[in-house]
Amino acid sequence: MKKTNLLNKILFPALLIFFLASVYFIVYIRSKKSGDHALSLGTISLSAKNELLTSQVLLQSRICSLPLKRNAIVEDTNGVKYHLSELFDTTKVIVYRISDLYCMECVKSQLPYLKTLSDRLGKKHVMLLASFETFKEFKIFMQTGEFDARAYNIQQQDLSNIPIEALNVPYFFEANGTVNADYVFIPAKEIPDLSKAYCDEVIRSF
């Protein structure tokens, strides 16, 4: 366990640096496309982007065993309350983590991918874990969202022990009966191909 915690402490800042560098590099490459160099730069960009996408997904997937608060109370869209541990069994579940504190445009940009995962893996294997200040706000968001997955609301502070929460960005993770956040993935709305690559990899390996 100590080894895993140490690994996460090292990988987490490395992941953040790599993630920001990846975004900057891809945006920079795209901005340089012009005139007669468009085709050659496009080829270079595609090759570089594919390499970055692969590296990004593989690097992020190494962040594992982030413990969730087992006895935290969550509430479904009907107002029924559960302990967080009750949501997970031995079956793998892909969780999309959002909050009303996050960039809502960023949050919504990933909903089509959540729907794709739900359609391909089944509702049982996909979940939305949100933090809205009130149950009413949670319900309003769910009514306007275009996705079909299980959804629960949890108090923000009940996940404050997870380092990645400090980034205030939406993210995906895998969970099961161990009630840990495994194989964390941080999407970027500026790079939709990154999210598509993640979905393809999850579906392929599920």
Residue linked to tokens 């990899």? 201
Q: Are strands 126-130 and 81-83 parallel, antiparallel or unpaired?
A: unpaired
pLDDT band (50, 70, 90) for residue 194: confident
pLDDT for residue 29 = 37
Reported as a single tens digit per residue, the pLDDT across 44-67 is 354 555 555 555 544 555 566 788
How do residues 95-138 score in pLDDT, each as one tens digit? 999 999 999 999 999 999 999 999 999 989 999 999 999 999 99
Dihedral in degrees, nearest 10, Cα atoms 13, 174, 170, 108: 150
Map residue 61 onto helix, strand or coil: coil
Give the amino acid at 57.
Answer: V
Residue of 181, 175, 200, 184 whose CA lies nearest to 54: 200
- The pLDDT confidence band at residue 178, using thresholds 50, 70 and 90, is confident
User: Which sign, positive or negative, has the C-alpha torsion 127, 128, 134, 135?
Assistant: negative
pLDDT confidence of residue 206: 84
How many other C-beta atoms can be found within 10 angstroms of the C-beta atom of residue 100?
A: 16
| pLDDT tens readout for residues 16-54 | 544 544 444 444 334 444 444 443 334 335 455 555 555
- What is the structure's pLDDT at 163? 84
State yes or no: pLDDT of 144 exceeds 80: no
Q: What is the pLDDT of residue 35?
A: 41
pLDDT confidence of residue 60 = 55
Give the list of residues 6+ apart from residue 102 with CB closer than 8 angstroms, or none: 168, 169, 170
Nearest residue to 188 via CA among 13, 42, 49, 14? 49
Question: Which pLDDT score, from 0 to 100, does residue 38 have?
Answer: 40
> 0.85 exceeded by the pTM?
no
Q: Which of 134, 78, 109, 128 is nearest to 191 (CA)?
A: 109
